[in-house]
Amino acid sequence: MMDVSGVGFPSKVPWKKMSAEELENQYCPSRWVVRLGAEEALRTYSQIGIEATTRARATRKSLLHVPYGDGEGEKVDIYFPDESSEALPFFLFFHGGYWQSGSKDESAFMVHPLTAQGVAVVIVAYGIAPKGTLDHMVDQVTRSVAFVQKRYPSNKGIYLCGHSAGAHLAAMMLLADWTKHGVTPNLRGFHGSYSLAGQPSSPHEPWGFFLVSGVFDLEPIVYTSQNVALQLTLEDAQRNSPQLKVAQAQPVDPTCRVLVVVGQFDSPEFHRQSWEFYQVLPVQTLCQGEWKASFEELHDVDHFEIVENLTQKDNVLTQIILKTIFQ
């Protein structure tokens, strides 16, 4: 395990001045886990994801392996509340794994607590490296969002959530050109149809995006071992870095909100990535509209617990998600 005395604060050393070993450490989240050894943390994360997915498939209404495109692996799993209708909020989740591991088949962490409160949950698969390129993954995720909007046009809001590499893919949806897909997703959410108590709620401006422990500037990744599978050039990394692009983009809707979340025991570089992305979000001028952004550091969780705990209805992040959908 790493020395975590500095965890919770961005590194004082710019990443370009770090040694290769230190940069590698900063971008290896399992080395910053306090409660378990690195390998055990990864095994536990996978086990919890598999168990949650097995339970969700056994106990919830679902449509599994639904194709959103013609490509291999372009499928989603859709989980519904007991009282199903098309007029539901839809929560899309993009798994992590450094764009080269992970699967929708072990990522249904939040299905039980969200469907229990009336939210449909969509777990998205995409073609991971080395077979899939990052450009193609971004295109796949874009098409998965468009697919949900087209299939459920009466939805009460589409909410995007990604973890780690999945947070990057979700953030890239801030830059998507939806005209190419013939549909504009309802990413700003909805105004006052439901509440947690089942009563009409007052109009509000919901979050459209939950970005959990993400990477938003990909240039450092080029110089780590993660790039063996990804094979990113510097140009690839810059083209796919929402940190560099979002200031020039325009919101799908001026009320679209973005919540950037990081765990206390994420590495300093992961803290920097989230904090700097949060800071660049509200730069739009008033005439263009702006993304309303918020930043949260979740206490006493690491890079993996932050998502593992979404299996629990009373978890802080689970409650943030539900309250912002239904407030």
Candidate list 139, 217, 266, 302, residue with the active-site label: 266
- Angle, alpha carbons 213-53-49 (nearest 5°): 40
Name residue 299's beta-bridge partners: none
In the annotation, is 3 catalytic? no
Annotation says 164 is catalytic:
yes
For the chain, how long is the longest CA-to-CA vector?
Answer: 56
Q: Which amino acid is at 154?
A: S
The answer, yes or no, to whether the previous bond of 130 is cis (omega within 30 of 0) is: yes
Catalytic residue among 163, 168, 271, 303: 303
CB atoms within 10 A of CB 155: 21
- Which amino acid, one-letter code, is at 4? V
> What distance in Å separates the CA atoms of residue 167 and residue 160, rounded to the nearest whole number?
9
Helical H segments across the chain, by residue range: 20-26, 38-59, 111-115, 134-151, 165-172, 227-230, 234-239, 242-245, 268-280, 305-308, 316-326
Among 30, 144, 164, 274, the active-site one is 164
CB 262 within 8 A of CB 7: no
Q: Are 190 and 158 in contact (CB under 8 A)?
A: no
Residue 114, judged by CB atoms within 10 A of its CB (0-12, 13-18, 19+), counts as: buried
Please state, in angstroms and as integers, the Cα–Cα distance from residue 124 to each residue in 107, 137, 326, following that order: 9, 11, 23
Please list the active-site residues: 164, 266, 303
